[in-house]
Amino acid sequence: MKWLIIVFVIMSLIGSVMWVMPTPRQRFQAHLRLKARTLGLQVQLVTLKLPRMTGEMEGESISVPAYRLLRTNLSRAQKESWCSWQVCRGETLANTGLGQGWSWITGEGLLPGTVLEHVNAVLERLPDDVVALESTPIHMTAFWHESDEATLERLAGILKELVEVRV
């Protein structure tokens, strides 16, 4: 009987330790997010409210990591006159000026033609697991379902390009 109790206690301890250990996916996410910090990105888990897609009754809210690059190259006057915008992957009626498969969440019709052309060129180059892109006077954000480290580096380069050209 003593051995049964000892085995039970040991199994309980092992089970407790295994329960608090991170999963391989969680270890991968931690590594990826640390790498993002070295690339100058901030990572935050946010709830993104998507618009109602074609054929749906309501818009969807998803929890997704937001990879943000802060803007440091805007003056106070530029920040005050900034046109913030947000686009998502999907088909809605609000897709004026965007490429196939992308729709506006906010900012439809606010961007000048040359800026809109540049945004469309960037949208074509984005990885498939980027669900949305946002531009504010404070930061440039990619809402991304984390896939791999090479994609992170590619995404960081795209965000840096967008911040430099002030899109």
Q: How many domains does the chain have?
A: 1
Q: Are 131 and 144 in contact (CB under 8 A)?
A: yes
pLDDT digits (tens, 9 = 90+) for 67-115: 999 998 888 888 888 999 999 999 998 999 999 999 999 999 888 989 9
Is 8 inside any structural domain?
no
Q: Is the pTM of this model over 0.75?
A: yes
For 111-115, the CB contacts below 8 A with 24+ separation are 111/83, 111/85, 115/167
Domain enclosing residue 87, as ranges: 23-165
Neighbouring C-beta atoms of residue 50, cutoff 10 Å: 21
Is 115 inside any structural domain?
yes
Is 10 inside any structural domain?
no
Whether pLDDT at 1 is above 80: no
Instruction: Give, in order, the Cα–Cα distances in Å from 87 to each of 99, 130, 163.
Output: 11, 11, 16
Q: How far apart are CA 113 and CA 63, in angstroms?
A: 32
Is 87 inside any structural domain?
yes
Q: Are 84 and 142 in contact (CB under 8 A)?
A: no
